[in-house]
Structure 1
Amino acid sequence: MAFNSRKRMALDVFPSDCWELVISKLLDNEEEERKHYLETLSLVSKQLLSVTNTFVYSFKLFNNIPSSSLPILIISRIFNRFPNLTSLDLSTYRGRYADDLNELISRIPPRSFSCLTSLNLSNNPIIPASGLRSILKNNNTSSRLTSLICSNVGCLKFTDITFIADSFPFLQHLDISFPGGGGGLSHLSHQVKDYNNALNLLSQKLSKLRTVDFSGNFYINDSSFLQLCINCEFLQEVLMPDCPFITHAGIAEAIHHRPTLNSFYVTDLKKAIHEPEKVNFVDSITSLKRLTCLDLSFSCINDLLLQSIALEALPLTKLVLQGCYNYTYNGISCLLSKSPSLQHLDLQLANFLNDEFLIPLCAFLAGLVSINVSGCRNLALEALPLTKHVLQGCYNYTYNGISCLLSKSPSLQHLDLQLANFLNDEFLIPLCAFLAGLVSINVSGCRNLGNSSFFSLLSNCPLLADIRMESTSIGIGPTPLDLDLAVYPQVNKIRHLKFDCIPQAKLFWIDFKVCGLEHLDLQLANFLNDEFLIPLCGFLAGLVSINVSGCRNLGNSSFFSLLSNCPLLADIRMESTSIGIGPTPLDLDLAVYLNKIRHLKFDCIPQAKLFWIDFKVCGLEVLNLSHSRIDDKNLDDISKICPRLLQLDLEHCCDVTEKGVRLAVENCTRLREINFQCCLKVSTDTVSRMIFSRPSLRKITAPPHFRLRHCDSKLLSERCLVFLGFCKCSG
C-alpha cells in the first residue's frame, strides 16, 4: 500500500509539460495506435487524463441517446475537455429542435473555436448561422477555419452563403453540395438574383479557395462559375455534378481564366455542342495542363474532345465517362494510349464496347487500379484482367459458363462459388487446371464436393493459402497415402481452413507431418472428440486461432492439448462444448499456458465452476462466458486473475447479480466493453456505478429493464455508449 502511494505521489509531482514532451514522442504512429496509446495513458491518473486530452485534435459527436435526456449544456462540456481541437464533425448530431445546433455551437469556448481549422455541419436542417455569429462576436481573433462542409443541409438560404463569405476569410475547402429542397430556390426572379449576388460575394471574399463542391445546386449558373474562376486564384478542384444551369459555353469561358485546375467534375451536359461552342469547350479542357481528374458523367461528348486531350498528353489519373454518349472506340482508344498514368477508369454504359474493342485497350492500362464497365452489355468478363470473382449465391448459371470464365482468367487470385449447387468433384477437378494463381477459394455450401476436390486444389494451386469448405462433403472419398502427401508441399502455405459440419468420424488430413496452418475452423464437427483432436494438435504448432464450437464431445483434455502444443495460439472458441469436463493439469503446470491467450469464448458451459480459475498468470483481453452457470464468486475469481480484460460477455448468466458485476468491473482495470444482457438479477442502478468506478468503459449492453435516469446523462455523454439488450427469458 505504501509503495503504491509513493508511486501515485511521484506521478502527481511530475510536471504536465514534461508529460506532454514524453507523450509526444510516443505518438508518431498509425492513427489507430495513437488512439490506443492516448486512451491507455488517460486511465493512469487525472493528471495524465488532462494531459492526453490536449493531444486530441479531431472529434466527431455521436448523439446516441435522445436529446431530451441529454441537455446541450452537458454536451458542450466536451469542448472544455479537449482544448486543442482542430477538426470538429457534427454531421451526425441530432438535436430535438432545429435550433439546438445553434445553441450547441454558441457554447464552444472562443479559445477552442479559434483553433478549429475544419468544421463539418452536414446533414443538419439548417446552417447554424446565429450560433456561429455569436461565437465569432465573442472571439477577439478571426476564425482560422480552412475547411467548411455543409453537404445535404435541409435549407441553404442565400443569407447563409453571405454569412459564410463574411465570416471565414481563410477558407480553402468549401462544400455546400446537395441542399434540400433545391437549396430554397424558387422561380421568383428576385430570389434568383439574391442567390447570384451571394455567390458573387462568396467568390470575391474567399479568394483563398482551393476546392469547391457545388454538386446538386440549382442556383449555380455560368455567371457564378465565371466569377469563381476569376476571383479564386488558388482554385484547383471544382465539383459541379447535377447543376442544370451550367453549359458548355459557360465552362469554356470560366476555365480559360483558371488554367491551374487539376480536378474538374461536371455532369449532365446533354445539349449537343454547336461548332463554335465545341471548339471553345475542347480548347478550355485541353488548356488545363495539370488536369489529373476529369468527370463528365452523363454528358454529350465526342471523339474530338478525347483526341484533343490525348494530343495534349494531360496527366490524367482518373477518368469518369459514366453514361456519356456520342463518342466511339476511336476516341477512347486514342485517349487511353496517351494516358500512361491512368489509375481509375469508369466507362459505364458504353454500349459500343465489346471484347473485340476492350482487349486491345487493356494494353494501355498497365497502371490501372480500378475499372467500372457496368452496363456494357456487349462485354464479357473474360476480356478483363480480373483478380477476384464473387458469385456467392448466384443461380441460373452452369458448369459451362463458369468453365469458360475461369479459362479466360489467368490473373485470378480469389474465387467465391458459395452455394453453387451444381458443383461436384467431377466438375471442380477440371476447373482446378485454370487456377494456378489462386490464393483463396470459398466453396462453402457446395454439398457435393468431397476429398477429391480438396486434393485437386492442393495439387493444382501452389499459392493457395485460404480454403473454405463449410457444409460440403469433405471427408468423403479417397485420400492419398501418407507417402503421397509429400507431393503437396503447398500444404505448408495453407493458413486458413474452414471445414465446419463435417459428418465423418475421422479427419483425413490429420496425418500431415508438415503444416503451417494458422487458422482452423471445425465448428459443428459432431464426430470430433478428445481422442481425435489430441493427436491433431501435434501438427499445429503454428496455430493462431481455432474454432471448435458445437463439438460437444470436446472437453478439458483437448483444451490443454491445444495450449501445450500450440505456443502461438491466441484465440480459442469452444462454445457449446464439454469444456470443464475431464482432468486438469496441476497448478504448477498451468502457469505456462495462458500467457499468450487473448480471446476465449466458452459460452453455454454447464459447469458451475470454471476449471481454469486457478491460473496464476493470464493475459486474456476478450472473454465470452455467455449462457454459463457462473455465480458472483466465480466471476470475482475470474476477474482477479484476468485483470487485463478489455471485453467481458456475461449474457444470460442468470446467477450473476450486481455484486458480481461490480467486483468484475473493479478488478478489470482496463475494461472497455461489458455485456450483461438478460442478467435479470442485476439491478438497474448498476450502470451509473460502473461508469463512475471504471472510466475506461466505452460500451455497456444492459438488461432490458434498465431505464436511463436523468442523473446518468452526464456520465453517458462524456464516456460511454449504453445499449438496451433484448431478452426472451422470464427470470
Structure 2
Amino acid sequence: MLLKDFPQECWESIFKFLGQGKDLESVSMVCKKFLSITNQVKFSLTIHDSTILFLSRLLSRFLRLKAIDFSHFNGELEDILHQISQSGLDLDLINLSNQRTLPVDGLRELGTKMINLRVLICSNVGSLRDSHLVVIAYCFPFLEELDISFPLDSQASDFGLLRLSSMLENLCKIDLSGNHLITDKSLLSLCQNCRSLEEISFFQCFKISQDGIASAIRMRPSLSSISFNIEKKRIHGPGLTPLPINLDLIDSFVSLKRLNAIDLSNSFISDEFLISVADGAVNFLKKLVLQDCCNFTFSGIFYVLSKCQYVQSLDLRKADFLTDQCINKLSIFLINLTSINLSGCCQLTNSTFFILTRNCPLLLEIKMERTYIGVEGEEDSNSMSDFVVNRQVKAVHLGDNILLNDASLIKFTSICAGLQLLDLNACEGITGECVAEVMKRCYVIRHLNIAYTGIEKFEINFEVSQLKVLNLSGARIEDESLSIISKWCSGLMLLDIQNCWYVTAKGVREVIENCIALKELNLRNCSLVDDDFVCGLMHARPSLRKIITPSGVDFYG
C-alpha cells in the first residue's frame, strides 16, 4: 500500500500514540501530509517567551487545542489571553502557574468564550486574593479541577473559598495547599457545596484543625483522595512531647470506604491512625504516601499493607526503622506494587533491591536514594544464577549513595536489563568503565543521569540508539568524551554538561553537528566555552529549542 493510500484515520491513531511532545514535532517535518495530520492531533501547547512571536500562527494552525500551559512564560498575559479568547478554541485546561499575579481582565474575557473550561491550574502564583477566587468561580462555573496551591503571598481567606464553593457545583478536585489563612469553614463549605468532590489537598493549612478534618470526612465519605499534613507541634514541658492525634480524626477515616489515595507527607501520625485508614479503605487503597512522617512503626505499616493488598504506589521515604528483613516481610503483600520510594531509609542494603525485584512482579520504578545500598546483605551471598531477572522495572533512582560501587551496579542492571531511566546522581564510587558496561546491558535506556559522579572519561564504542537524555553535570570530561557522545549517542535530545569545566567550543561544536535531534543543551559554568560562540549554535542546529549559556542565560529557539 502506498503512503497516499493509507487512511488518514490510521495515521491519526499512530500519531496520537506518539503523544504531544517532540516526537510529534519531528513527524510533522516529514511531508505536507504528515504536517496536516499532526496539526489535527496536537491537543496541548506549552508557551515560552519566544513562542509569543508566533502565537497567532500557532493558534490558527492547531485548531483542536485543548490545553495551553503558561507555567514557563515570564511576560504579561492580558493581551495573550485576549488573543486566545478570540481564537475560537474550546479549551479544556489552562495552566497559569508561576505567574507574578493572575490576569483578572484576561480571565474575565476568557470566561465569556471558554465556557467549557474544565481544569484551571494556578499554582505558585505571586499573589492570591479573595477577589481572584470570586473571578475564577464567576468566569468558569463548570470547573471540575482547580489548583491554587502555594501562592507566594496568600491573602485568600474563608470569604473567597465560601464564595467559590457555592458557585462551583461540579468541582471534583481542588488543591488549597499553602493558603495559610483558610480555616475549617472553607473545608466544610467545599465538602457541603461541591457534591461531586472526590479529591482534596490542603498541605500547610494549619488553621484547619483535626476536628475540622474529621467533620469534613464524615460530611463527604465518598472522597477518593485526601492529602494533608498533621503539624508536628510539641507540648511545652519535660521531653517536649508531640501533640497527640485527635481520636475523632482517627475514627473518621473508617468512613472513607472508597479511599484510593492518601498523602500524609511530613506528618505526626500513629499506628492507630494507619489501622483506621486500612480498615476503611481495605479494598480500594492504591496510593499511600508517608514520606517524612514520624511516630509510626513497622507494625502500623505491616497492618496497612496486609489489609490493603491493591497498593500500587508506596512512599516510605525516611522511614529509618525499616531493615532488609522488614522489606522482605512486607513484600509478600506487594504483588500489585508498581512504584516504591525508600529513599533515606538508611538501614537498607543491596538485599532490599533484590527482594523487591524478585517479589514484586509489576514493579516499574524503584527509588533508593541516600540508603546503605552498595553494602552487601544476605541476598548478595547468592550467585547471579539465583537472581530473578525482572524486565518489568523501567526506572531506578539511586542518587546520593556514596557506598554504591561498580560490582553492585552491574548486578542491579543485570537483573533489570529493561531499564529506560537510571539516576546515579552523586554516586562517587561508580567508574566510567562501569557506566559503559551498564549501557551495553541496558540497551533500551533512554535517560541516564551520572551527574557529579566524578567520572573523567565517557568511553563507549557501540551505538546507544535509544538514549535521549544524558546528564553529565560536574563530570571531569574533556572534548574527547564529547566526541564519543556525538558519535555513538546521535539520537540525544537533551545534554546537560553544566559545570564541566574542561570542555571547549571544539567539543560542543562536534555534539551540535552530529546529534541531529538535539533539543536542549545546558552549558552553564562551562568556562572554556564563550557566550558569543553559543549564540550561533541555534543557526547551526535548527532542532535546538533551548540553550543555557556558560553565564547562565537561557536562549529559546
For 2:506, the equivalent position in structure 1 comes to 659
**Partner amino acid, structure 2, of 1:641:** W
* Larger CA Rg, structure 1 vs 2: 1
Kept after mapping to 1: 8 A contact 2:517/2:543: yes
Q: Do the aligned partners of residues 402 and 498 (structure 1) sit closer, same or farther apart at CA in structure 2, a change above 3 Å counting? A: farther
Letter in 2 for 1:27: E
> CA offsets, 1:507-551, max 9 Å, x none?
775556522222111101145336778679935613211111111
In the other structure, the counterpart of 1:386 is 223
**Per-residue displacement from partner, 1:102-132 (whole Å, max 9, x unpaired)?**
xxxxxxxxxxxxxxxxx962599xx9xxxxx
CA offsets per residue over residues 668-707 of structure 1, 9 Å max, x none? 111111111111111113333321222111121222276x
Q: CA deviation at 1:594?
A: 3.0
| 1:679 aligned onto 2:526 | yes
1:412/1:492 Cα in 2 relative to 1: closer, same or farther (>3 Å)? same
Q: How far did 1:591 drift?
A: 8.0
The answer to whether residue 491 in structure 2 is matched with residue 491 in structure 1 is no
Aligned to 2:82: 121
| Contact kept? 1:497, 1:519, Cα under 8 Å | yes
| Separation in 1, partners of 2:395, 2:428 | 19
Residue 609 of structure 1, CA deviation = 1.2
Q: Aligned equivalents of 1:403 and 1:84: distance in 2? A: 54
TM-score by length of 1: 0.52
* Deviations, residues 175-228 of structure 1 (Å, cap 9, x unaligned): 74799xxxxxxxxxxxxxxxxxxxxxxxxxxxxx99799xxxxxxxxxxxxxxx
- 1:574 — aligned with what? 424
Partner of 1:192: none
Q: Residue 123 of structure 1 contacts residue 152 of structure 1 at CA under 8 Å; is this kept in 2?
A: no
Aligned 8 A contact 2:199 2:225 in 1: no
Q: Which residue of 1 aligns with 2:456?
A: 608
Counterpart in the other structure of 1:52:
35
Query: The residue matched to 1:380 in structure 2 has which SS?
Result: helix
Q: Which residue matches 1:199?
A: none
Partner of 2:394 in structure 1?
A: 544
| Paired residues for 1:223-238 under 5 Å | none
Q: Which residue of 1 aligns with 2:408?
A: 558
Pick the aligned partner of 1:503 from 346, 349, 357.
346
1:690 and 2:546 matched: no
What amino acid maps onto 2:223 in structure 1?
Answer: L
| Aligned mate of 1:473, from 294, 304, 320 | 320
CA deviation profile, 1:570-619 (whole Å, cap 9, x unmatched):
1111111135439759x9x87852321111111112131135x2344442
Deviation string 1:358-384 (CA, Å, 9 cap, x unpaired) is 7xx99xx7xx46599x99979532232
One-letter amino acid matched to 2:217 = L
Letter in 2 for 1:40: S
What amino acid is aligned across from residue 428 of structure 2 in structure 1?
S
CA distance in 2, matches of 1:467, 1:685: 48
Amino acid at match of 1:563: T
Question: In 2, distance between residues paired with 1:594 and 1:266?
Answer: 53
Is 1:642 the counterpart of 2:492? The answer is no
Cα deviation code 1:416-459 (max 9, x no counterpart): 222223x3557645654444132111111124444333432321
Task: Write out per-residue CA displacement over residues 469-527 of structure 1, whole angstroms, 9 at most, x where no aligned residue.
Answer: 111223259749x8xx5x96432212221111222264775556522222111101145
Q: Which residue of 2 aligns with 1:40?
A: 26
Q: Which amino acid aligns with 2:447?
A: H
Q: Note if contact 1:550-1:575 (Cα within 8 Å) is conserved in structure 2.
A: yes
Report what 1:30 is aligned to.
16
Q: Partners of 2:232 and 2:105 in 1: how far apart?
A: 43
CA distance in 1: counterparts of 2:166 and 2:434, whole angstroms: 71
Structure 2 letter corresponding to 1:621: K
Distance 1:436 1:445, change over 3 A: same
- Aligned counterparts of 2:198 and 2:249: Cα–Cα separation in 1: 23
Over the residues paired in the alignment, what is the CA RMSD in angstroms? 5.5
1:621 aligns with 2:468: yes
Residue deviations 1:70-90 (CA, integer Å, cap 9, x gap): xxxxx47985x9995658999
5 Å-filtered alignment, 1:236-315, equals none
**CA positional deviation for 1:636:** 1.2
- For 1:593, the equivalent position in structure 2 comes to 441
Aligned amino acid, residue 26 of structure 1: W
The 8 Å contact of residues 468 and 491 in structure 2, kept in 1 or not, is answered as yes
Alignment of 1:359-508 (within 5 A): 368=196, 379-384=215-220, 385-392=222-229, 394=231, 398-399=244-245, 400-421=247-268, 423-425=269-271, 428=274, 432-437=278-283, 438-475=285-322, 479=326, 485=329, 489-504=332-347, 506=349
- Aligned mates of 1:452, 1:426 — CA distance in 2: 10
Q: Give the corresponding residue for 1:524.
A: 370
Take 1:90 and 1:430, find their aligned partners in 2: how far apart are those partners? 41
Is 1:515 matched with 2:360? yes
CA contact (8 A) 1:458 1:491 kept: yes
Q: Is the 8 A contact 1:571 1:598 kept in 2?
A: yes
Identity of aligned residues (%): 19
**2:236 — aligned with what?**
none
- 2:421/2:447 contact within 8 Å kept: yes
Amino acid in the other structure paired with 1:418: S
Q: Provide, for residues 282-315 of structure 1, a one-character-per-residue CA deviation record: whole Å limited to 9, x for no partner.
A: xxxxxxxxxx9799xxxxxxxxxxxxxxxxxxxx
Pairwise mapping of residues 106-185 of structure 1 onto structure 2 (< 5 A)? 121=82, 176=109
Q: Deviations over 1:620-647 (max 9, x none)?
A: 1111111111111011102211111111
Matched residue count: 467
Q: TM-score, normalised by structure 2?
A: 0.66
DSSP 3-state at the match of 1:520:
strand
Are 2:261 and 2:286, in contact at CA under 8 Å, matched by a contact in 1? yes
Larger CA deviation: 642-651 vs 530-539: 530-539
Q: Distance in 1 between matches of 2:47 and 2:172?
A: 36
Residue 452 of structure 1 aligns to a residue whose secondary structure is helix
Structure 2: any 5+ residue segments left out of the alignment? 92-101, 118-132, 145-161, 174-181, 203-207, 234-242
